[in-house]
Amino acid sequence: MEINNLAKEILHLVGGKENISSVTSCMTRLRFVLKDNSKAQQEKITEIPEVIKVIEFGGQYQIVLGSIVEDVYKAIIKMGDLQSKELGEDNQGTEASDNNAIKDKQSIIDSLIGTLSGIFTPLIPAMLGMGFLKVLCVILNVFWGITESNATYAILMTLSDSFFYFLPILVGWSAARRFDTNVGVSLVILGLLIHPDFIELLDTTSDVTFLGIPVSDVSYASSVLPAILSIYLLSKFELLLKKVIPKTLRSILVPFLSLLVIAPITVLLLGPIGDWGGRLITTVFTSLYDLSPLLAGALIGGTWQLLIIGGMHVVILSMVTIPNIAAFGRDTVIVTHAPGLICQCAAGLAVALKAKDPKIKKTAGSLTFSSFFAGSVIEPVMYGVNLKYKKPFYFALIGGAIGGAIAGASFAGVTAPVALSIYSLPAFFGTGFTGLIIGTIIGSLVTFVLTYVVGIDEEIE
């Protein structure tokens, strides 16, 4: 179906633009927050040939489309006149009430998951771009011996590292859009956290205080929770100010009072709390890894694809992998999920070879091929084949657990937040690389053999 016609059909079947509170997109799926999910005609949506899967998770109505998602997203934004909501412009009255209505229908967990996914999803392009820029630098260093003494190489490395350094700013920008608050004020508040003078003040002064209250010595580079907490509070404070300040004075007093109040609260309270919370989340994973790399690898490798279903994998990457890479130069914990991605392709390949129905063979083969050569963006084969027939997905989880255990036991690591693929292998060079490849091969073979031997129920088609 032509892109505009597909976008028009999806817009109609989710209940029209009047039923859309917000819409974003990630690498493979449209993520709607609908005012009334019951108005979405799910059966008709799933019958559209280009639709791979429909998922309701975390308060979001997600439509998996694969590589065409960006074009469809842009068409929907244009047709539905939704651009102002996506850009987070100042339409807070209507948007705030819509969001409150949505939250009333969600559980706290759903709302939290939906919020975090909504904040991190717009950062995926920057994350991928930075990741493959690091891969390029590794290639230049390993195969051509180029080091930071080369100015061009040094600039490329600095460019890739800027993602880590300015992560609070990037998160703050996305959070400001998500919470529908002033982007400029948000970035100024968070700019304080990574300003060289503020960092130097904490480093060179033993007891920094603000109005007599001690300021915690916290490094905010690569942190995410302080930014989210700060901008959430800012959004609520802005709404309060707009209720009590006359319209004629809002343009001056609202940003002035927001900076004057929220910035100190951030450095005195929310920043340290967010830093502690982020470290706690990271510690949960690293402690498991410290206890047993093999066990951690098996658990992460065997469950990671369940996180992908809900879109939570991006959140974990942002809150664990990126801080680990920023602090230690590589992540050895979450990287154990990598073999499981290739296992999904192995399961799809087995279906393509074992199935008797020519249509199933063609679909499984094309989705496996596209997922593998798209850089292990495995949603197409996972949703279009493995989850559809169930057994291949279960076997991919088993293979992922086996491969993850071997990768963990080998102390494999990654120097950039990229998925394991034929394009990103240099990011995995170093200690444990051989073990990672062995784990991937063994896990994929186990997945392939189990899927091929057991087969699928072709009547599901």
If one compares 115 and 160, the residue with the highest pLDDT of the two is 160
* pLDDT band of 461, cuts 50, 70, 90: low
* pLDDT band of 93, cuts 50, 70, 90: very low
Q: Answer for the pair 386, 454: CB distance below 8 angstroms, yes or no.
A: no
Write out the two tokens for 84: 């102002």
Q: Which of 26, 137, 343, 345 is catalytic?
A: 26
Q: Answer for the pair 164, 416: CB distance below 8 angstroms, yes or no.
A: no
Identify whether 137 is a catalytic site residue.
Answer: no
Q: What is this structure's pTM?
A: 0.80
In whole angstroms, what is the distance from residue 383 CA to residue 288 CA? 30
Distances (CA, A) of 375 to 56, 132, 262, 414, 424: 26, 11, 41, 15, 8
Q: Answer for the pair 85, 91: CB distance below 8 angstroms, yes or no.
A: yes
Write out the two tokens for 119: 């904040």
In whole angstroms, what is the distance from residue 72 CA to residue 52 CA? 14
If one compares 104 and 206, the residue with the highest pLDDT of the two is 206
- Residue 82 pLDDT: 67
- Residue 227 pLDDT: 95
Strands 60-64 and 20-25 come out as unpaired
Q: Answer for the pair 388, 439: CB distance below 8 angstroms, yes or no.
A: no
Q: What is the CATH number of domain 3-91?
A: 3.30.1360.60
Instruction: Kindly report, as residue ranges, where domains of CATH 3.30.1360.60 are found in the chain.
Output: 3-91
| Phi, psi for residue 119 in degrees, rounded to 5 | -75, -45
In whole angstroms, what is the distance from residue 420 CA to residue 342 CA? 8
If one compares 299 and 26, the residue with the highest pLDDT of the two is 299
- Residue 20 pLDDT: 87
Distances (CA, A) of 437 to 137, 143, 413, 420: 21, 20, 12, 10
Does the pLDDT at position 59 exceed 80?
Answer: no
Q: How far apart are the first and last CA of the chain?
A: 21
